Structure 1
Amino acid sequence: MQTMPTSVTNEHPAGFPGGPRLLADVGGTNARFALELAPGNIGYVHVLPCAAYATLAAALRAYLGLPDVAAVAPVVRHGAIAIANPVAGDVVRMTNHHWQFSIAQLREECGFEVLAVVNDFTALARALPYLDLGEEKRQVGGRGAEPGTPLAVIGPGTGLGVSALIPTAAGWTALQSEGGHASFSPINETEVEILRFARREFGHVSAERLISGSGIELVYRALADLHGVPAEPLSAADVTLRALRGNCLLCDETIESFCGMLGTVAGNLAVTLGARGGVYIGGGIVPKLGERFDRSLFRARFEGKGRFNAYLSAIPTYVITAGYPAFAGVSAILAERLGDR
Structure 2
Amino acid sequence: MATASHNDKPAFPILIGDIGGTNARFWILTDVFAEPQQFPNVRTADFATLDEAIQTQVLDKTSRQPHSAILAIAGPIQDDDIPLTNCNWVVRPRQLISELGFRDVLVINDFEAQALAAASLSENDRAAIGPLTKAPVASRAVLGPGTGLGVAGLIHARDMWFPVPGEGGHVDMGPRSDRDYQIFPHIEAIDGRISGEQILCGRGMVHLYRAICMADGIEPQFTDPADISSHGLSGSNPQAAETLSLFVTYLGRLAGDMALILMAKGGVYIAGGISQKILPAFKRPEFRAAFEDKAPHQAMMRQIPTFIVTHPQAALAGLAFFARTPEHFGISMDGRRWQA
TM normalised by structure 2 equals 0.85
Separation in 2, partners of 1:31, 1:189: 43
Aligned to 2:40: 46
Change (3 A) 1:29 1:195: farther
One-letter amino acid of the counterpart of residue 284, structure 2? R
SS at 1:196 equivalent: helix
Separation in 2, partners of 1:233, 1:291: 21
Change (3 A) 1:206 1:78: same
Aligned to 1:199: 188
Query: Residue 309 of structure 1: CA displacement?
Result: 1.1
1:76 aligns with 2:66: yes
Partner of residue 152 from structure 2, selected from 163, 166, 180: 163
SS at 1:130 equivalent: coil
Aligned to 1:181: 170
- Does the 8 Å contact 2:141/2:259 carry over to 1? yes
- Does the 8 Å contact 1:262/1:298 carry over to 2? yes
Alignment of 1:136-155 (within 5 A): 136-155=125-144
Query: Residue 175 of structure 1: CA displacement?
Result: 0.6
Separation in 2, partners of 1:239, 1:145: 35
> Structure 1 vs Structure 2: percent identity of aligned residues?
33
**C-alpha RMSD of matched pairs (Å):** 2.7
CA-to-aligned-CA distance 1:273-296 (integer Å, 9 cap, x gap)? 000011111111111123232105
Aligned to 1:63: 57
Change (3 A) 1:62 1:252: farther
Separation in 2, partners of 1:298, 1:277: 18
Alignment of 1:173-252 (within 5 A): 173-199=162-188, 203-252=192-241
Query: Residue 318 of structure 1: CA displacement?
Result: 0.9
Change (3 A) 1:169 1:256: same
CA-to-aligned-CA distance 1:192-220 (integer Å, 9 cap, x gap)? 45443333566543211210111111111
4+ aligned runs moved over 6 Å, structure 1: 336-339
1:97 aligns with 2:90: no
- Does the 8 Å contact 2:69/2:106 carry over to 1? yes
Separation in 2, partners of 1:315, 1:321: 19
1:293 aligns with 2:286: no
Separation in 1, partners of 2:299, 2:308: 21
CA-to-aligned-CA distance 1:73-128 (integer Å, 9 cap, x gap)? 2x322111112233344443333334344443444443321111111111121122
Aligned to 1:122: 112
- Does the 8 Å contact 1:303/1:312 carry over to 2? yes
Change (3 A) 1:199 1:114: same
Any stretches of 5+ residues in structure 2 without a counterpart? 1-8, 331-340
Partner of residue 22 from structure 1, selected from 15, 23, 37: 15
Aligned to 1:113: 103
- Does the 8 Å contact 2:114/2:314 carry over to 1? yes
Larger CA deviation: 75-84 vs 317-326:
75-84
Change (3 A) 1:229 1:332: same
Separation in 2, partners of 1:292, 1:20: 41
TM normalised by structure 1 equals 0.85
Separation in 2, partners of 1:187, 1:92: 40
One-letter amino acid of the counterpart of residue 45, structure 1? F
Query: Residue 37 of structure 1: CA displacement?
Result: 2.0
Query: Residue 225 of structure 1: CA displacement?
Result: 1.3
SS at 1:297 equivalent: helix
Larger CA deviation: 239-248 vs 194-203:
194-203
Query: Residue 139 of structure 1: CA displacement?
Result: 1.1
SS at 1:144 equivalent: coil
One-letter amino acid of the counterpart of residue 119, structure 1? N
Query: Residue 130 of structure 1: CA displacement?
Result: 1.9
SS at 1:217 equivalent: helix
SS at 1:139 equivalent: strand
- Does the 8 Å contact 2:129/2:288 carry over to 1? yes
Higher relative contact order (CA 8 A, sep 6+): 2
Aligned residues: 321
